[in-house]
Chain A
């Protein structure tokens, strides 16, 4: 029995330290998914916390024959998709404390590379924000988690053919969006 399986069993028995180990192990994958889906750090933090609360409440329903990572990311993606669908325009107070996202630091030295990386990250997130919830989830799970079509289908509760179709359309939409942005910046430079 591996370490993760021991933590899961102990957490099911009420061992909160074991649950803490699970949170430690999966905080980055879950937070990254919620951040990429929801697009801002504050909501991502709230959503990630809620995901772990749902995991805590449903831990006794986890099927050990499934991969725990798939199960937890399934909860996260379903929650984020529901949240995106319910999202309404909110007024944000200027005094609200906003948690800054913490990215992996690049090994490249120098502020220029950090600026380039930040701009690239902003571009990636802006592209993701143009997609609907279902398409966004498929793209994130494919590129960030290297999931196969079957794994994405299992995580999102869909079929392989539906996932292939979503990824196909999402990539086409993103590529067209990227093309349009490139044309706009070329025209701006020309002037």
Chain B
């Protein structure tokens, strides 16, 4: 109907598939995120580690190029688990900054202006709402972590016959390690965004959780002469998980605790974040 016929009419057309409706939230959020030019520039910069990694792999397999640049062959590092772990470290740091910028703006604007009843009065559940918001971060972070990581893996596999089959563990580690990181920081960012309605404060709190809690963990270790405080240091914990995924063992100097404690620490972080979201993502809060 044309807009000049100004009247009310019901809708009896086709409906979209309910199970994919959470993606509507993600689609609108992407439009908003990339409307900010600085964000777009930052997103492109997140591919720098991948480009450097790709260049390195190319040089590694191109003797002519090494000679042209006068790089001694013995100085070229092997493309192995160490190489991918370093690349992943850079990518994950950038992913953390991306989360700190995008994450706080996902839930807090809905809570500040009472928009949740608008979402939840539709055939759309609280879980779908959280899933939709999570999908924003999960997609953005995947695009700068495990997807380019896997492209590098495939590039190396294509350039060296038989390398892929003997290094399948690396592929698993790239995907599983990145997913663990994405899950943890995304849920944490969403939970903070739901609890702290002011966007800049929510962003600052994400840094606070990482660095202040890590400092507390360090103090805990120092005072009680124990290592259990390491479980509070998320960067140390995720590094232990990555080491285990890439090598099957964790260096005792980096993480002297059993490796399951690292997984438990991530699990607790995710669980608490989900609990915080469950408490806050409601159409109406019942005031005590």
Q: Do A and B come from the same complex?
A: no
